[in-house]
Amino acid sequence: EDQVTQSPEALRLQEGESSSLNCSYTVSGLRGLFWYRQDPGKGPEFLFTLYSAGEEKEKERLKATLTKKESFLHITAPKPEDSATYLCAVQAVGNAGNMLTFGGGTRLMVKP
Amino acid sequence: DAGVIQSPRHEVTEMGQEVTLRCKPISGHNSLFWYRQTMMRGLELLIYFNNNVPIDDSGMPEDRFSAKMPNASFSTLKIQPSEPRDSAVYFCASRLAGTDTQYFGPGTRLTVL
């Protein structure tokens, strides 16, 4: 059974204080790893897809990286508007429906 | 460009009542997913459709839940009878054939009293 564990559950940062969120996964064969951002009262918003170990993707202050066992979402010099819950999900090889298994999320709070 | 549309956005009902949640996927997308999100269990897949056909409903919690997709632009998730433990946010997501990314709607917050 595919499993995704995210840590920490919650993270408080001061504006400008860089940090990383972790996503550890167990899957029979990884087809893709996804990062989403979710704001309160809204649906998850797609950020990145990573397909192979060593791959990196960047978007503004966010950079996602992937190894064979985990993914990191690095946040550089965060701003209050980066406050949200960040969700990680995996898609397994042979998963005919490309179904996603989500982790519990990391709630990020950035204080000005 | 309209995203995934869900209605209603909020639903409050009493135990035992029938609840119907609605979803309109992004035009041209051929896969549709229903999820449930709670604090305790996070985001869980309930059922997904491919080309309007239900493919995997193993996440549907019990027979009280049913889902239909009568055409490519509309799907419903029905709970009958509803129970307080069904209280959650229900999301619909859609995906374009040949791609991996699922796009989520704004969700329906269901409260069963």
**Per-position DSSP letters for B6-34, written without gaps between them:** EE-SEEEE-TT--EEEEEEPPTT--EEEE
Report CA B44 to chain centroid distance, whole Å.
11
Distance from CA of A14 to the nearest CA of B (A): 26
Which tens digit of pLDDT belongs to each residue from B43-61?
A: 999 999 999 999 989 889 8
pLDDT band per the 50, 70, 90 thresholds, residue A93: confident
Which tens digit of pLDDT belongs to each residue from A43-71?
A: 999 999 999 999 999 999 999 999 999 99
Q: Mutate one of B35, B95, B102 to test the A interface: name it (highest A CB count within 10 A).
A: B102
Residue B1, pLDDT > 80, answer: no
CB contact under 8 A, A98 and B105: no
Residue B62, pLDDT > 80, answer: yes
